[in-house]
């Protein structure tokens, strides 16, 4: 009697794992919906291997959740900048966020000929100066519900609130939510976001 029960449990486990694998390629629509319904940011809780005594570049390189961002920063020649004194505010997309970008676009950004384009995309996630979640919330309140931030590439990035979560809207219209706020760095602060923000090209 035990053998059929074990087989049933194994079959159920395989079925569940099969269902999970179908979620690996979310559409752009689900990305926006996820951003708008994001859980409130957790201030201060550092993601894997990020130390307040290290620079943004060093922490991104050490983080198991930001391998794509670290590789892109190296390819774009931004490691030296993010190792500098700053201070900088960086909205850091996770590897899962990069996985939402269509492969043809993502691979294109990493080509040597597209170095300037990639640098522009990454600089769009950097705001000169140090802005904590409280600073961003204050700017949003002062702006009557939105704050327009000037990024390192010179374009505007709009911050709003959805419940307790801070939501960023790019100049091209896509959204990213801050899922983890106020990760301290020696040369600024990192806020983890759930999507790659795309500037106007």
The DSSP secondary structure of 21-33, one letter per residue, reads HTTSS--HHHHHH
Which ranges in 52-192 belong to alpha helices (H)? 56-62, 67-76, 79-83, 95-99, 103-109, 115-123, 133-142
Q: What is the pLDDT of residue 49?
A: 67
Q: Which of 13-22, 47-56, 76-85, 163-172 has the lowest mean pLDDT?
A: 13-22
Letter string b/e over residues 2-20, b meaning 16 or more CB atoms within 10 A of that residue's CB: eeeeeeeeeeeeeeeeeee
The confidence score (pLDDT) of residue 171 equals 92
Residue 180: in which H helix or E strand, if any?
strand 175-185
Confidence of residue 200 (pLDDT cuts 50, 70, 90): confident
Give the separation between CA 39 and CA 151, rounded to whole angstroms: 25
Q: Give the length of the chain.
A: 201
pLDDT in tens, 13-65: 333 333 333 333 333 322 333 333 333 444 444 555 688 889 999 999 999 99
Q: What is the pTM of this model?
A: 0.76
pLDDT beyond 90 at 152: yes
Q: Which segment, 7-16, 103-112, 161-170, is predicted with the most confidence on average?
A: 161-170
CB atoms within 10 A of CB 75: 18
Confidence of residue 156 (pLDDT cuts 50, 70, 90): very high
Least confident interval from 1-15, 45-59, 72-86, 104-118: 1-15
CB 95 within 8 A of CB 66: yes
Task: Report pLDDT for 98.
Answer: 93
* pLDDT value at 137 more than 60: yes
User: Which residues, at least 6 apart from 113, have a Cβ–Cβ distance to it below 8 Å?
Assistant: none
Instruction: Decide: helix, strand or coil at residue 41.
Output: coil
Q: Cβ distance 185 to 44 under 8 Å?
A: no
Q: Which domains does the chain have, with CATH numbers?
A: 27-193 (2.30.180.10)
Query: Which residue did the predictor score with more confidence, 26 or 97?
Result: 97
Q: Is residue 195 within 8 Å of 93, Cβ to Cβ?
A: yes
Q: Which residue has the higher pLDDT, 49 or 191?
A: 191
The encoded tokens of residue 154 equal 């010179």
| pLDDT at 106 (0 to 100) | 87
């Amino acid at each position: 009697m035990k053998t059929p029960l074990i087989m049933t449990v194994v079959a159920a486990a395989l079925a569940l794992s099969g269902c999970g694998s179908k979620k690996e390629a979310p559409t752009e629509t689900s990305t926006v919906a996820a951003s708008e319904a994001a859980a409130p940011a957790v201030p201060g809780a550092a993601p894997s291997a990020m130390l307040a005594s290290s620079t943004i570049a060093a922490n991104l390189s050490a983080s198991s959740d930001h391998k794509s961002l670290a590789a892109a920063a190296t390819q774009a020649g931004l490691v030296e900048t993010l190792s500098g004194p700053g201070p900088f505010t960086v909205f850091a997309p996770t590897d899962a966020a990069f996985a939402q970008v269509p492969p043809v676009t993502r691979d294109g950004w990493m080509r040597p000929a597209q170095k300037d384009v990639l640098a522009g995309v990454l600089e769009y996630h950097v705001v000169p100066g140090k802005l904590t979640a409280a600073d961003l919330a204050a700017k949003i309140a002062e702006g009557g519900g939105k704050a327009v931030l000037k990024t390192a590439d010179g374009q505007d990035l709009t911050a709003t609130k959805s419940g307790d979560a801070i939501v960023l809207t790019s100049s091209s219209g896509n959204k990213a939510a801050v899922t983890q706020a106020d990760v301290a760095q020696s040369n600024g602060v990192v806020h983890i976001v759930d999507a790659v923000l795309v500037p106007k090209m």
